[in-house]
Amino acid sequence: MEIFLQQLINGLTLGSVYAVVALGYTMVYGIIQLINFAHGEVVMIGAMVAFSVIGWLAANTALPPLVIVLIGTLAAIPACVGVGYALEIFAYRRLRHAPRLAPLITAIGASIVLQQVAMMIWSRNPLGFPQIIPNTVYHLEGATITLVQIAIIVTSVLLMVGLTLVVYRTRLGVAMRATSQNAHIAGLMGVNVNQIIAATFMIGAALAAVAGVMVGSYYGIAHYTMGSLLGLKAFCAAVLGGIGNLAGAMLGGMLLGIVEALGAGYIGDFTNNVFGSNYQDVFAFLVLIGVLVFRPSGLLGERIGERA
Amino acid sequence: MTFTDKLKTNPTALWSGVVLIACALIALPFALAMAGTTWVRVTNLAILFTLLALGLNIVVGFAGLLDLGYIAFYGVGAYVYALLASPQFNLHLPFWVILPIGALAACVFGVLLGAPTLKLRGDYLAIVTLGFGEIVRIFFNNLSQPVNITNGPQGISRIDPFTIGSFSFSQNEVLLGLNFSGPIKYYYLLLLVLIAVIVINLRLEDSRIGRAWQAIREDEVAAQAMGINTTRIKLLAFAMGASFGGVAGGMFAAMQGFISPESFVLVESVMVLSMVVLGGMGNIWGVIVGALLLSFVPELLRHTVDPLQRSLFGRLIVEPEVVRMLLFGLALMLMMLFRPAGLWPSKVRQRELADE
Amino acid sequence: MNESRILAIGSALVVVLSGCGKNEPAPAPKADAAQELIVKIGHAAPLTGGIAHLGKDNENGARLAIEEANARNIVIDGKKVKFELLAEDDEEKPDRGPIIAQKFIDAKVAGVVGHLNSGVSIPASTVYAQAGIPMVTGSSTNPKLTEQGLKNVFRTVGRDDQQGPAIASYLATEYKPKLVAVIDDATAYGEGLGNEVEKTLTAAGIKVLPREKGSKDTRDWKAVLTKIKGKKPDAVFYGGMDATAGPLLKQGRELGIKVVFAFGDGACTNTMKDLAGDAAEGFVCSQAGIPVQAASSKFLADYKAKFNAEPIQYSPFTYDSTHVLIAAMQKANSADPAKYLPELAKISHNGASGKIEFDEKGDRKNAEMTIFMMKNGKIEPLAIIKGGASVKYEDFIKSAAATPAAPAVTAPEKK
């Protein structure tokens, strides 16, 4: 039982990370129907910037660890927001009405460029993320949960709640929802569509920055390629939950994390070791495909009829 | 105008042009060999990728189905060849038997991919095809236990080259006073296959199936209303596109003599998709140009970036690999910003994008 | 596309082709009027990607050897020899191997030092074999490389079927586990090493759990580790590189797995300290050769002086590989691969990593394996295993000091 509980805790933590990144994907998609494939790299940039700042502060100042991490995160946010904004202006703005493939290819090109730039700045070696907060381990019915894990889950929930509040209780949120329903009419109603879209990208990027710090702290490692796999999985999570739907992103993220953890833990036992934990990713993709076959718009996606 | 129409209007100019191109293509490997057999190998790989791009063009360009996992079919073709012509199972079937089997296997996989995705819209289709590509690769990487089928990450080596009787495609031979190295022999075979594939594509484009694909791409609901069986046509697109990938994969396995799951990763799928989109989605000639460009330019960069930097700056500031990837990424972005229809778009695309 | 365009394209192609022959003429080692012979030696390793730092280290070793050889004004076949190193990046990718091999062959190299990864060396070796170019690797440990029966392939490091048993028997004797968990990263190297370890452990009567696998990019090992924790092993072995081993170790300790963790040479680096933090204390690992610290002091001093850095892992072996090629050329008094290959096969050379001789497969005879443990943030050698016998490291150093530290290269012979 304790093993199951442990896997559940692992899955929840992993899922929280996926959820935060998935929120960024889903927000952008909700507004302009664009898959921002470069989002994973934005997460990576957040992790790298935080790595540099935290490392420098830890080595050169005597500030308390919590403050250092906070400053690191606060430093990562503007960096990511800048990147997100630049992406929107330079890469995506002109392609809002182009056929679907064009922004996809641009996003792929952007992610390649971001990776190479990160490699040039931070070198190609795996970097050890500074572990300055004492990582106390708590025991729970035989399973362990660390301080970092608790922090990640709590932060994710807070972010999700905060985002939902922004989208449903503020004027900015109203404008965002209006733009996502019909940008043209929203513009007629006085919404500055360009600004709203840029704001969406920036909020998504800020989320990515926090996610980057979370991933870096959790695994203790930062590398210029860390964004691609994470971005892919988070994108799957967003699609699983129904892309364009905030609650869907959270649900999809959590679900994917738990499925992966339980899958890796138990596939071997169920299939008598014919399929082991090495098929973990297959399992996750199969679940995704399975869900999409029965609910083509994702778990919480709206059933939109075919637009002619 | 189609190729056959052009033949009728000004045959002389057309045919002399064709003859010149043919002579150039025949002499090409020997010219390249003077610069080093490496370049012949690079050309062979470029032709393989052109085959892949043409196959993907059917799915993405003709039928408008976004496929991010195309490289899986390449892998299927390569592994089928490797399993039937190497020490892995100690089978050594001749290549003219294996290549059709490989194409068929890829077709089957194409249908397997197509079947669950029929109801999916563009972006969802993209992620499912991506997942499919990854699933296939993971299976390649892990099917070494409990029964060793693909030999896992170690890959399959000592794959038989193509042989017809005692004529092997991997040995050097001297014929007519010219040195035919292994890669040169493969080049001619690849050229023939490429021409065949181009012809098939051209005929497909103008056939009923081709028009059905175009109809589905433009407006699926209207196509259905017109009586097109969209299920069948979509599956056909996947299957046919996949079969080209399968053939290319088989040839790749024979040429390299060694394959491993590393060659069939997501990045390669993205590369092929980029070739199609950059070249001009839907336009066969555009796709060929895109594929050749994206195959040769990185290699040229690899050779020139290092000496260029040394002569300009006195030392190596940025490694060739980094420069190559940077330029590739920038090229993708800039192309989409300024020519989203591709370098050589089909007329339809141009109209589409001009109207916006 | 209209007819005149086709004509234009055709003419353009013909023009380009005629000019094509002029670029990049294949250079050849020809003697020039001043009786100088230029001999090119190729070196290939990943210079980009996750282990680029190891690739560069290898290249440095080869470069140091080339410089030393040039400084000695060697004469072959009556001509003064100048050695040149052609360094290439194989990006750790198996299909780059044959392409780089072809590039070296076109450039008419006399021999190749490399590659680094077994997964790249194996496909490249067949290309070199077809052209008859000798290949000596200083870091590819997969046994398959020399089991192919190719006459031109040699290695100056040990093999995974020596390394695996070495670390496995060390684990068995020192820690006496009853149940061991083996994990690998599903690469040719990791899986191969994991298999060897499992074989040795099973032969010693130790139970091994069903294999768990990750990938070469796995960062989240919690699910796999939790599963293993439930089965309560007495030791954990992981075959993979430090980029994934670090997180594995860290998360293992976080989950409360207190048993010893053992790794192969891919994770036997000081980088593990950065990646796993305090969790890195006390892990054991093996390397398929003598430790860097035990390399000849001359090599260590020269490397530090030239590159202003410490050698990381396999540079002594690439250094020796290069010198072995040169020594064979001297013995045969020719830089022609066909002539010096037989000499290479029977060479006996005292290098920075000890005495080098090859057996009939091309493997190094009596290759030593070293067992390390991480103490206070640095890996420290514990024992050397040679020919199945284990020697404590301090004793090994003492006995090595007793035989005089051999000069780095054999004196040139005149035929």
pLDDT digits (tens, 9 = 90+) for A54-110: 888 888 888 888 888 888 899 999 999 999 999 988 888 888 877 777 888 888 889
Tokens 């943030």, residue located: C377
Residue B344's closest chain C neighbor by CA?
A: C1
The CATH number of the domain covering residues in C36-157+294-364: 3.40.50.2300
Q: What is the DSSP letter of A255?
A: H
- Long-range interactions of A71-75: CB distance < 8 A, separation 24+: A72/A213, A73/A209, A73/A210, A73/A213, A75/A49, A75/A50
Q: Which helix (DSSP H) or strand (DSSP E) does residue A118 occupy? A: helix A101-122
Handedness of CA C151, C156, C160, C166 (dihedral sign): positive
Q: Domain C161-287 belongs to what topology? A: Rossmann fold (3.40.50)
pLDDT, tens digit (0-9, with 9 covering 90-100), for B80-127:
999 998 888 888 888 888 999 999 999 999 999 888 888 887 777 888
Q: What is the distance between the alpha carbons of residues A223 and A241, in angstroms, rounded to a whole number? A: 28
Q: What is the distance between the alpha carbons of residues C292 and B49, in angstroms, rounded to a whole number? A: 44
CB contact under 8 A, C93 and B144: no
- Residue C107 CA, distance from chain mean position: 23
Structure tokens at B89: 């199972």
Tokens 């408008």, residue located: B64
CB contact under 8 A, B142 and A292: no
pLDDT score, position A100: 74
pLDDT score, position C380: 87
- Residue C123 CA, distance from chain mean position: 15
- Say if C229 is an interface residue toward chain A (CB within 8 Å): yes
Pair C191, B154: CB distance under 8 Å: yes
In this structure, is residue A134 part of a structural domain? Answer: yes
Q: What is the distance between the alpha carbons of residues B58 and B201, in angstroms, rounded to a whole number? A: 8
- Per CB-CB distance under 8 Å, the chain C contacts of A268 are 210, 212, 227
Provide CB contacts within 8 A for B334, sequence distance 6+: none
Pair B68, B273: CB distance under 8 Å: yes
Provide CB contacts within 8 A for C236, sequence distance 6+: C180, C181, C182, C183, C228, C252, C257, C259, C260, C261, C262
Instruction: Point out the residue among B146, B326, B337 whose CB comes nearest to the CB of A94.
Output: B337
Longest dimension (CA), chain C: 83
Structure tokens at C239: 């075959």
pLDDT score, position B7: 58
Domain ranges of chain C: 36-157+294-364, 161-287
pLDDT score, position B72: 94
Low-confidence ranges of chain A (pLDDT < 70): 273, 302-308
Per-residue pLDDT of chain B (356 residues; tens, 9 = 90+): 565 566 567 778 888 888 888 888 888 888 888 777 788 888 999 999 999 999 999 999 898 888 999 999 999 999 999 999 888 888 888 888 899 999 999 999 999 988 888 888 777 788 889 889 999 998 998 887 777 888 888 788 778 888 887 777 777 777 777 777 778 888 989 999 999 999 999 999 889 999 999 898 888 889 999 999 989 999 999 999 999 999 999 999 988 888 888 889 888 898 899 899 888 888 999 999 999 998 888 888 777 777 777 777 766 677 777 787 888 888 888 888 888 878 888 776 666 655 44
pLDDT score, position C25: 40
- Per CB-CB distance under 8 Å, the chain B contacts of C98 are 41, 256-258
- Say if B352 is an interface residue toward chain A (CB within 8 Å): yes
Provide CB contacts within 8 A for C198, sequence distance 6+: C182, C208, C211
pLDDT score, position C22: 38
Q: What is the distance between the alpha carbons of residues A18 and A234, in angstroms, rounded to a whole number? A: 5
Q: How many separate domains does chain A show? A: 1
Pair C159, C139: CB distance under 8 Å: no
Longest dimension (CA), chain B: 67
Handedness of CA C20, C24, C26, C28 (dihedral sign): positive
In this structure, is residue A1 part of a structural domain? Answer: no
CB contact under 8 A, B35 and C10: no
ipTM of the complex: 0.83
- Per CB-CB distance under 8 Å, the chain C contacts of A10 are 220, 222-223, 226
CB contact under 8 A, C229 and A6: yes
Structure tokens at C353: 């990593």
pLDDT, tens digit (0-9, with 9 covering 90-100), for B162-198:
888 777 777 777 777 777 777 888 898 999 999 999 9
Prior bond of B146 cis (ω within 30°): yes
CB contact under 8 A, B337 and A112: no
Instruction: Point out the residue among A7, A124, A268 whose CB comes nearest to the CB of C210.
Output: A268
**pLDDT per 10-residue tile (average), chain C, 415 residues:** 55 53 41 70 84 84 92 87 89 82 89 89 87 91 86 90 89 91 88 91 92 84 89 93 89 89 89 85 87 81 87 88 92 88 89 87 86 87 81 77 46 38
Provide the domain limits for residue A109: 17-227
Instruction: Point out the residue among A103, A111, A308 whose CB comes nearest to the CB of B221.
Output: A308
Q: How far is CA C176 from CA A270, B4, C169, C233, C268, in A?
A: 31, 79, 10, 12, 22
Q: What is the distance between the alpha carbons of residues C71 and C149, in angstroms, rounded to a whole number? A: 36
- Residue C212 CA, distance from chain mean position: 26
In this structure, is residue A21 part of a structural domain? Answer: yes
Q: What is the DSSP letter of A124?
A: S
Residue B21's closest chain C neighbor by CA?
A: C10
Residue C272's closest chain A neighbor by CA?
A: A128
Instruction: Point out the residue among A10, A128, A281 whose CB comes nearest to the CB of C275.
Output: A128
pLDDT score, position A304: 47
Mutate to test the interface with C, among A131, A278, A280, A281 (most CBs of C within 10 A): A278
Domain ranges of chain B: 1-35, 42-277
- Say if B216 is an interface residue toward chain A (CB within 8 Å): no
Q: How far is CA B59 from CA B10, B242, B345, C7, C247, in A?
A: 33, 9, 16, 31, 41
Pair A259, A10: CB distance under 8 Å: no
